Structure 1
Amino acid sequence: MKRKAYDRIKFWKDHKTKQALLVSGARQVGKTFIIEEFGRAEYDHLVEFNLVLDDNARRSFSQAASPDDLLLRISVASSVPLVPGRTLVFLDEIQQCPQIVTFIKGLVDKGDYDYILSGSLLGVEMEDVRSLPVGYLDEFTMYPLDFEEFCWANGLVESAFDVIRDSFSNLQEVPDFLHRRLTDLFHRYLLVGGMPAAVSAFVANGAIDPVRAVQSNIRTSYEHDIKQYAPKEHRLTIQEIYGLIPSELQSQNRRFQVSSITDIKRFSQIEDEFLWLTNANVALPAFNVAAPVAPLRANSERRIMKLFYSDVGLLVGSYGKKSALGILDGNAAMNMGGVYENVAAQELVAHGFTHLYYLTRKGIGELDFLIETDDGDVLALEIKSGARFRSHAALDRAMATSGYGIDSAYVLAETNVFEESDVTYLPMYMLSMLENG
């Protein structure tokens, strides 16, 4: 299964000086698979330890007193020879032994071997140690397969997206045959999502029941992680928040209502619980802003938010099977507004927009998403799941409001590419064309 993360890891190998690589991300997004694939293809020797499954290695490494001591313990535990200049050492599930990270500086200073660390829940388990080897860790986060990767897995040639990029750049319609194919694949992506095991099940079987079984198991594993790793006094509330996301996204404005949580009245009471879910990369927040003016973070109101699942397939799989009827034809039985916004959040984060915002303001209405490029441009996005996508009063009012700083406005819907006034209309599958960095 081709992943863009492979090229990111290759970039690290080709350009690193004295740096280890830290690959973070939610559980089951494919971190281990892609690092193993990279190690076998790019090195003569791959030395790998899974610190969840290998109790002996975890106990031994946790007792290391120095970088030299840790390297000795790695060499003793390894069944593969460590050959200088030709060996990758891969330490997986590093959250089980986070003190190892403090020795990375000493290990990479030697320059004998390359090191990749990976794990889940790093945002919550390694908060205090991950910053210690400053300058010695190159880090990136892996996400579920984005839509382009999903298309590759389903047999679409990579050159098809060159046509899409040209259409986006020149604001020209996508050729009809390709538009129909991508629209069909996008509807399948809504059902399946981007978790590698779910995509593999779909490709292998072409049926939804094996996919939903995988999705259910993943959601269960996330709930298990909450029970195992979340602070004991917060576990029940975190579980409740995670379980409420699907129903909250079915509400009219998709805003997460704090009052839905048992015995909670104010956001300040549960701010840590929300942060745990987002730092664990299993939920994606979008915060309201007082005004669409750069920098958006300075205008954000963190007590007012939407909360999405990290994968749209996990969201759709949480609803009853009958609710998904019609999705393949673009005519679902359920309200698809929350689903379309969830896939938008997922795609935007995967393409570099790691901070998501929206606007709800009296006299304006609601803008579904506001994002900011590294250059400081503010983009307003309206996500439309229905046929009346040309109706966007809130967007029109916001663009006409003096003092607002919207540089570009997009409506993403079940349509082809066209421009009208100051608004660019794009098919939903072109979310992947919005890139940052």
Structure 2
Amino acid sequence: MKRKAYERIKFWKEHKGKQALLVTGARQVGKTFIIEEFGRTEYEHMVEFNLALNDTARKSFSQATSPDDLLLRISIEANEPLVAGTTLVFIDEIQQCPNIVTFIKGLVDKGDYDYILSGSLLGVELEDVRSLPVGYLDEFTMYPLDFEEFCWANGLVTTAFDIVRNSFTAMTEVPDFVHQRLTDLFHRYVLVGGMPAAVTAFLDHNTIDPVRAIQANIRTYYEHDIKQYAPKEHRLTIQEIYRLIPGELQSQNRRFHVNSITDIKRYAQIEDEFLWLTRANVALPVFNVVAPTAPLITNQERRLLKLFYSDVGLLVGSYGKRSSVGILDGRASMNMGGVYENVAAQELAAHGFNHLYYFTKRNVGELDLLVETNDGDVLALEIKSGSYFRSHSALDKAMSIPEYGIDKAYVFAETNVCEENNVTYLPMYMLSMLSNE
């Protein structure tokens, strides 16, 4: 599958200086595959170690006492000679042996070989690494396939998105034949999501049962990680939070109700558990702000939040199969508000918006999503799953309050491009046009 991460890794290779690359992300998003492909294509030699599967290497590396000692152990375990200047050393599942991360700096400084580290749950496991060197790691997070990558996998020519970008820039309607094709693919994306194994199963079989089986397995993997890596005293609560997400997203306002958790009354009681899930990249948090003004982070109110799955396919797959009826035609039998907001959160996170927010106030109403660009502009996003997408009283009220300073308002819905009264209406697939990278 063509992945944007390939170009990101290539950028590192061309500009790295004395830096290793750290690729993080949830399990099963395709990190290993894309790094292996890159290593085979861009280097004459590659040595690879999967510390989750290779017990010998893991035990040996964990005994290293210095950078030179680690390099010796790498050379012994390598399946081919290390050739200076032409070899990539790829250490996968680094969370199995996080203590060696500090030794990699010394090896990078030597400049003989390039180093890529990868793994899951690094936001959790690397919290415990002492004296983690600053500046020698170029880090980026991989996510499931975004919508554009899903379209590529389904055979859509890349020029189709050039047409969409032109329409987005000029704020003109997308030609009907492109609009219909992308709308159809978007509905398929809602069902399948962006986990590579699920997408492959969908392309191979064109039926939903193999996809749902893979989605169920991935959710099981995530729960296994909770049991293995989460602090023992928090495991049951973290697992319960993860399982509650689909039901909470079917509530009217999509907000996570803390009192849904057994014996919990206040967010402060379980803040660490929520943070564990988000640091593990299996859940996406959207925090409330007391006012939609820049900088949004200073207005954040952490006790109120929405919580989404990292992949919309995992979310839809968690509901009963009959809930999927009608999704392909845009007339789902279930409430799609939370599902469409999950797509939006997933796309925004993949496109560089590291902090997502929403806003609610009694005399205004609720704005589904707020993001802030690198330039400091605040964008208000309404996500509409039904046919009455031109009804958005909360957005209208918020836009009329000068001190809020909302710079741009978008309504994403089952529609084509149009503008009315300072509000821009965009088709759901145009979420892919918003980028903060």
- Give 2:239's aligned residue: 239
> 1:2·1:152 contact (CA, 8 Å) conserved in 2?
yes
Partner SS state of residue 286, structure 1: strand
1:131 to partner: Cα distance: 6.7
- Give 1:262's aligned residue: 262
- Give 1:72's aligned residue: 72
After superposition, residues 307-326 of structure 1 pair within 5 angstroms as 307-326=307-326
- Give 2:389's aligned residue: 389
- Give 1:140's aligned residue: 140
- Tell me how far apart the structure 2 counterparts of residues 79 and 130 of structure 1 sit (CA, whole Å): 30
TM-score, normalized by length of structure 1? Answer: 0.99
User: What whole-Å deviation, never above 9, does each CA across 1:133-180 have from its counterpart, x for those lacking one?
Assistant: 211100000000000000000000011101100000000100000000
Matched letter for residue 425 of structure 2: Y
- Give 1:219's aligned residue: 219
- Tell me how far apart the structure 2 counterparts of residues 401 and 167 of structure 1 sit (CA, whole Å): 30
- Tell me how far apart the structure 2 counterparts of residues 315 and 427 of structure 1 sit (CA, whole Å): 21
Matched letter for residue 87 of structure 2: T
- Give 1:33's aligned residue: 33
- Tell me how far apart the structure 2 counterparts of residues 165 and 22 of structure 1 sit (CA, whole Å): 31
1:130 to partner: Cα distance: 7.9
- Give 1:357's aligned residue: 357
- Tell me how far apart the structure 2 counterparts of residues 55 and 46 of structure 1 sit (CA, whole Å): 20
- Give 1:230's aligned residue: 230
Cα separation, partners in 2 of 1:233 and 1:408, compared to 1, 3 Å: same
Partner SS state of residue 250, structure 1: coil
Structure 2 stretches lacking a partner, 5+ long:
none
Worse-matched range after superposition: 214-223 or 400-409: 400-409
Please say if 1:118 is aligned against 2:118: yes
- Give 1:333's aligned residue: 333
- Give 1:6's aligned residue: 6
- Tell me how far apart the structure 1 counterparts of residues 33 and 285 of structure 2 sit (CA, whole Å): 27
After superposition, residues 90-169 of structure 1 pair within 5 angstroms as 90-129=90-129, 132-169=132-169
> 1:104·1:133 contact (CA, 8 Å) conserved in 2?
no
- Tell me how far apart the structure 2 counterparts of residues 131 and 43 of structure 1 sit (CA, whole Å): 31
- Tell me how far apart the structure 2 counterparts of residues 378 and 80 of structure 1 sit (CA, whole Å): 52
Matched letter for residue 229 of structure 1: Y
1:317 to partner: Cα distance: 0.1
- Give 1:197's aligned residue: 197
Cα separation, partners in 2 of 1:391 and 1:131, compared to 1, 3 Å: farther
Structure 1 stretches lacking a partner, 5+ long:
none
- Tell me how far apart the structure 2 counterparts of residues 214 and 132 of structure 1 sit (CA, whole Å): 36
- Give 1:399's aligned residue: 399
- Give 1:372's aligned residue: 372
After superposition, residues 261-280 of structure 1 pair within 5 angstroms as 261-280=261-280
CA RMSD, aligned part only? Answer: 0.7
Matched letter for residue 77 of structure 1: E
Cα separation, partners in 2 of 1:130 and 1:44, compared to 1, 3 Å: farther
Partner SS state of residue 406, structure 1: coil
Cα separation, partners in 2 of 1:216 and 1:4, compared to 1, 3 Å: same
- Give 2:187's aligned residue: 187
Give 4+ residue runs of structure 1 displaced > 3 Å after superposition. Answer: none
User: What whole-Å deviation, never above 9, does each CA across 1:108-142 have from its counterpart, x for those lacking one?
Assistant: 11100000000000000111328722111000000
Cα separation, partners in 2 of 1:357 and 1:131, compared to 1, 3 Å: farther
User: What whole-Å deviation, never above 9, does each CA across 1:350-372 have from its counterpart, x for those lacking one?
Assistant: 00111000001010000000000
- Tell me how far apart the structure 1 counterparts of residues 80 and 134 of structure 2 sit (CA, whole Å): 30
User: What whole-Å deviation, never above 9, does each CA across 1:335-393 have from its counterpart, x for those lacking one?
Assistant: 00000000000000000111000001010000000000011000000000000000000
- Tell me how far apart the structure 2 counterparts of residues 429 and 261 of structure 1 sit (CA, whole Å): 34
- Tell me how far apart the structure 1 counterparts of residues 137 and 190 of structure 2 sit (CA, whole Å): 35
Matched letter for residue 80 of structure 2: V
- Give 1:285's aligned residue: 285
> 1:101·1:130 contact (CA, 8 Å) conserved in 2?
no
- Tell me how far apart the structure 1 counterparts of residues 138 and 104 of structure 2 sit (CA, whole Å): 11
- Tell me how far apart the structure 2 counterparts of residues 43 and 410 of structure 1 sit (CA, whole Å): 44
- Tell me how far apart the structure 1 counterparts of residues 144 and 22 of structure 2 sit (CA, whole Å): 17
Matched letter for residue 434 of structure 2: L
Partner SS state of residue 403, structure 1: helix
- Tell me how far apart the structure 2 counterparts of residues 79 and 275 of structure 1 sit (CA, whole Å): 39
- Determine what percentage of the aligned residue pairs are the same residue: 80
- Tell me how far apart the structure 2 counterparts of residues 85 and 92 of structure 1 sit (CA, whole Å): 21
Matched letter for residue 152 of structure 2: W
1:81 to partner: Cα distance: 1.2
Partner SS state of residue 180, structure 2: helix
- Tell me how far apart the structure 2 counterparts of residues 130 and 389 of structure 1 sit (CA, whole Å): 51
- Tell me how far apart the structure 2 counterparts of residues 194 and 129 of structure 1 sit (CA, whole Å): 31
Partner SS state of residue 411, structure 1: strand
- Tell me how far apart the structure 2 counterparts of residues 418 and 270 of structure 1 sit (CA, whole Å): 43
